[in-house]
Amino acid sequence: MNTIYLIGDSTVDDNTPPFRGWGWALPKYVNPGVTVRNHALSGRSTRSFWEEGLFVPVQEAMSAGDLLLIQFGHNDEKDDERHTDPETTYRDNLWRYCTLAMEKGAQPVLITPVARRFFTGDNSLMYTHGEYPKAVRELAREKHIPLCDLKQDSRRLYLALGQERARKLFVQLAPGEHPDYPDGHNDQTHFCASGAKVIAALVAREMQALPACRPYIRAEIEMPAEGQA
């Protein structure tokens, strides 16, 4: 039985309702006999995930025939101790995860950070994450690592949906709807359960196009409707 390991931040993390990362929904799209182990954790960057020892159990468990999906960037760009530089330390950290996976006989897969929902008008979306997505693409190309360009796919999806329909992918709470958010919550980064399923379907479709990943993913990927849990 092969395993897909996930490392990343809150947009990947299983998380706690009403928040869900796309990694929580990925098992819906894998073939029978494939196990998904989601080690992503909210608030982590490539740097803090390593420094906190969170990669150790992944490294110890991986074996030949497994996949390692890697998506960071949301917290690497933060101006605090988690910060990395996209042209140096961010790339170096990503490559370290890749090489350690390959040493265990596993296949690393790089994933660009999923887009935030920052519309600037009805038909324009702010390009977030600066140079980090470019760094992922360049590293994948230079080192011949399979790439899922989730940044590009999610931007295209949000723009196709439009500002209001795309809102349904994210945690949107009215005042009094949730006890932890008495004044409501208008999130542009973190997905609700139905949104996580949609984003996981994007990842699965990207994986279908990659020969190294295709055996793990169902042949038919149905795109869920936004707003449907």
Tokens found for residue 224: 């869920």
Is 26:91 a contact under the CB 8 Å cutoff? no
In a domain, 224, yes or no: no
Rounded-to-integer distance, Cα 44 and Cα 17, Å: 19
For the chain, the maximum distance between any two Cα atoms, rounded to a whole number of angstroms, is 51
- Range in 21-25, 101-105, 219-223 the model is least confident about: 219-223
In a domain, 223, yes or no: no
**DSSP 8-state symbol, 159:** H
In a domain, 188, yes or no: yes
- Asked if pLDDT for residue 81 goes beyond 80, the answer is yes
- Asked if pLDDT for residue 184 goes beyond 90, the answer is yes
* Higher per-residue confidence, 122 vs 7: 7
Q: pLDDT tens digit string along 195-212? A: 999 999 999 999 999 999
Range of the domain at 48: 3-216
Exposure of 15 in the CB half-sphere (CA atoms within 13 A): 24
- Position 16 scores a pLDDT of 94
Mean pLDDT of the chain: 95
How many distinct structural domains can be found in the chain?
1
State the CATH number of the domain containing residue 191. Answer: 3.40.50.1110
In a domain, 221, yes or no: no
- Asked if pLDDT for residue 75 goes beyond 80, the answer is yes
Quick one: which of 111, 79, 87 has its CA closest to 97? 111
Instruction: Please give the model's pTM, rounded to 2 decimal places.
Output: 0.95
- Asked if pLDDT for residue 226 goes beyond 80, the answer is no
Rounded-to-integer distance, Cα 173 and Cα 182, Å: 9
Is 110:117 a contact under the CB 8 Å cutoff? no
Quick one: which of 92, 97, 8 has its CA closest to 59? 97
- Position 229 scores a pLDDT of 45
